[in-house]
A and B are shown apart, each in its own frame.
Chain A
Amino acid sequence: MKRERILAGLLLAALAVLAVRAIVGWPAHNGDAVPVALDVTEPFYPVYFSSRDTGLLEPEFHQGSATIEQVLADLLAGPKLEHLAGVIPADTVVLGYRLSGETLYVSFSHHLVTNHPGGSTGEILTVYAIVNSLTGIDGVERVQILVENQVVDTLAGHLNLQRALRKDYSALGSQVL
């Protein structure tokens, strides 16, 4: 349980950073309400995107209770904060998902592979934005990415996607923590 405590600590630090940024006032993306004025007494959850400052993953916190459908929709919609960039290739849609025990299977359209720019860095960012965001949901420990409802060897030729993956915080920028 020591790991959980450390993570909670990191999360609070991230919140502190967000709070400061909220005071400065961040321009909204598409004029949407930016969820930086987070009410920490109410439920909230992280969705991971690529930081334009660090090139690494960074969480964007959304108010509410995380559901699989909502987190997948958030990932596909992209970030609201301007310094973050989306991690899901263009035209990608979710074809379906199934929770089996603590393993969540999510099937994406082929665009996840065919529109991906590649590179081990690019692949790790996309895969762990998905995995880290979804494992933030209660009851989801592992995520297996499927493409067109099939188990795949890999997304871009580096990661082994034949199995379910656990969350990995090593792709997060230390600047965030």
Chain B
Amino acid sequence: MFLDLESYSGYQTYLLEQPARLVVDLYGVKGDPPPMLEVDSPVLSSIRASRFDDQTLRVVCDLKAPTGYQVLPAPGGGIAIDFNYQLYSLALEDQDGSLLLSIEMSAAPEVQATYLESPLRLVLDFQDTTLLTRSFDTPVNLGPIVRWRVGQHSPAVTRVVLELAEPLASLPVEERAAGSFVLPFFPGTAAEAAAYLRAQQHAQEEPEELGAELLPTGEGVLSGLVIAVDPGHGGSDPGTIGYQGTFEKDVNLAISLYLGELLSEAGAKVIYTRDTDVYVSIFQRPEIAMEAGADLFVSVHANSHIERGRARGTETLYRAGDPASELFARIVQEELVKAITLIDRRIWGREDLAVFNGSNIPAVLVEVGFLDHPDEEVLLRASGFQKVAAQGIFNGIVRFCLENKR
């Protein structure tokens, strides 16, 4: 709020409750008071001015709730009053395995995150914010969070401190509804969270680029194609197992289902060799694809080295001696690495993989990352990363189909 005054000799402010209002008495101001102003703001509802005495103009700001403020005399005359945003409530939530902080606030928060070690903690400073709930300090047991403290750190900053057992990073705040926001957490360090965000951005930019080029008629770019999506392992065969106990079969299925959704949206007919946690023999999988008349075969896996934790990165295997499969692998690998930004290991022609044996359509087996590497396991088990991986593979399929003119 800015009070445009030609001259004044001083001011005094009072924050009053019930109803919440800020009173500003301006001394040495003459003239008639301006009319009342209705305001559509997250903080203010109206501004009234009246003459208190012949030397003093009283300005009353009706607030939606009591809040912090700063009075800033402007160098060119007049007074600016900055009201803090109001933080009504905070809650930590676990939504389908993803941790987030849900925030009820008068406007989108500006959060400054600081990660501190010994003890491990994540400090979230809400800028220009007044906390309207009571401060608290309480133990919790939510993923890596063992305790959290919330309080008004300074007149303009509300501080949230999360004590951690393992690294945790904050992701950008998202708006869910008017006045309702969430701050998602990423299970990893800030650097890993940044890599994850970059990957997500890639994935979001890519389809737009392609979409503009590919969909001149609005028709599905993959319509008419039958694509076999093969989530590796399943049922009694868990595949490789990560340090945190992540089963490869679950990662493979999650990425495959996301991939299938994207392919369907683009008009393809999707054939899953499995779409639940069941055992399907590796010899049956290409048969399922061939019986359905599939044009392409994509097997989705997560890798492991014989020496656990040694290797990392992405590789795509293809049917050796088949130029179409090799081109398919090259493009899928390129797009997937672009999307998830893991190390680009190689594409590798193999004639001994069972899923390549039973068909002659372009066939690849994608090893998205190494589940036996602790850093990559963190990524592979995160649904956000799984979606980005699916998007990367999808982009590769679309590009291959275009470059091959079907």
Contact = CB atoms under 8 A, between A and B. Distances in A.
A118 B302 CA distance: 10
B357 A160 contact: yes
B354 A122 contact: no
17 contacts: A50-B307, A55-B307, A117-B240, A117-B304, A117-B305, A117-B306, A119-B239, A119-B305, A119-B371, A121-B370, A124-B350, A158-B354, A158-B365, A160-B354, A168-B352, A170-B348, A170-B349
Contacts, number: 94
Interface string B297-308: 000011111111
A118 B248 contact: yes
Interface in A1-42: none
A90 to B, nearest CB: 12
Interface of A: 50, 52, 55, 85, 87, 117-122, 124-126, 153-154, 156-160, 162, 165, 168, 170
A157 B232 contact: yes
A162 B317 CA distance: 20
Contacts of B311: 55, 121
Contacts of B357: 160
Contact of B282 (A117, A126, A160, A170): A160
Contact of A153 (B281, B304, B349): B281
Contacts of B381: none
Where chain A touches its partner, the secondary structure class is loop
A121 B303 contact: yes
B354 A153 contact: yes
Nearest to A159: B352
A129 B113 CA distance: 49
A153 B317 contact: no
Contacts of A160: 282-283, 352-354, 357
Specify which of A52, A121, A124, A126 lies most central, judged by the most chain B CB atoms within 10 Å of its CB.
A121
B233 interface: yes
A157 B307 contact: no
B233 A120 contact: no
Contacts of A158: 232, 282, 301, 353-355, 365
Nearest to B348: A170
Contacts of A55: 305, 307, 310-311
A118 to B, nearest CB: 3
Contacts of A117: 240-241, 304-306, 308, 372
Interface in B230-252: 232-233, 237, 239-241, 248
B305 A125 contact: yes
B25 interface: no
Contacts of B335: none
Closest 3 CB pairs of A and B: A119-B304, A118-B240, A160-B354
Contacts of A124: 350
B282 A52 contact: no
B301 A50 contact: no
A153 B283 contact: yes
A120 B371 CA distance: 12
Given A126-B306, A153-B283, A157-B233, A120 B353 contact: yes
Nearest to A88: B306
A85 B309 CA distance: 13
A159 B306 contact: no
A153 B282 CA distance: 8
B246 to A, nearest CB: 12
Given A154-B354, A157-B239, A159-B354, A120 B306 contact: no
Contacts of A168: 352
Nearest to B307: A85
Nearest to B238: A118
B367 interface: yes
Contacts of A170: 348-349
Nearest to B315: A121
Nearest to B357: A160
Nearest to B239: A118
Nearest to B320: A170
Contacts of A126: 306
Contacts of B283: 153, 160, 162
Contact of B306 (A87, A154, A162): A87
Given A50-B307, A55-B311, A125-B306, A119 B353 contact: no
